[in-house]
Structure 1
Amino acid sequence: MLDGMTTTRPRPPRILRTRWTPGPTPFALCPVHVSVTDFTARGHVQAGAVALAGLRLRRTWHRTPGALGLWLWADLAGRRSGSVSVWTDEVALKEFVTRPDHLAIVRAHRGRGALRATAWTAEDFDPDEVWSRAHSLITGPTPWPHGPVHLEEA
């Protein structure tokens, strides 16, 4: 309480996430490449369309080369959705990003929001540690290494 007034902290976003979706690559004790994406749509209609496109793309995950697995996540009130994906290496992630089906989704939503993305390499894959780090980015306590990229620029 300050000078008779109460202050309230903004509530952290309520993040929904899918179950872990494994890729075709079996886990081994080796370094992994982690990618986190966050798309903020301009409106709720676009937010729903982007989230639905992500769910459709997830259906191909079991045959995505170099993919160890992924979680999709959404903040419905904030019109945001994204992914936390784990790869054998950065090359596998780049190959996925340039896949025709992924590019079609990016092009379809160009100009309808802002995208943030970051990636890092971890010595081993610890699901709890990866999700905790990604969740800190998604909910705001940890700053993103880069600002948003408007899809017109992507």
Structure 2
Amino acid sequence: MEKPKTPETAATLESKEKGPQKMRKPPTPEELISYYESQGMDSKAASIKVIQDLQGILLRAIGSNARGKTANPMAEMSRKLDTVNTRLAILEMKLDTKPGYLDSLTIGVAAGATLKGIGSVFPHVVGAFGQIWNAVRSSSNARP
């Protein structure tokens, strides 16, 4: 079975007349459909053929970014999606291990009670920590 030639649009005819150009305008979908209809296809079959051509171009474009010439573009895309999925799973796992609002509040209340208990037992230790805290706070507020 012989493959039909690609349609020659006005842009490609113009480029043949003027010589080689760096970028030529691709045919519009209407031009492609009318080309396939002129080959004897009905409108639905021509539309399906245009979609198949566009999918083939898309897969070739994805495949050109693959590591090797023999690499399967679908396998490459699947590998990339697996990598993204793995990274998202790791991120989700890290977020799940972080304490929530209630957990943080509980930890703060427990830490405050512990410090108050230490303060009543060892007032000179709490006083020293207070002096350190005030020194750090005053030095950080003194900066412009």
What TM-score bracket applies, with the shorter chain setting the length?
Answer: under 0.3
Q: Structure 1 length as normaliser, TM-score?
A: 0.21
Q: Which has the higher contact order (CA 8 A, sep 6+)?
A: 1
Q: Structure 2 length as normaliser, TM-score?
A: 0.22
- Larger Rg: 1 or 2? 2
Which has the larger strand fraction? 1
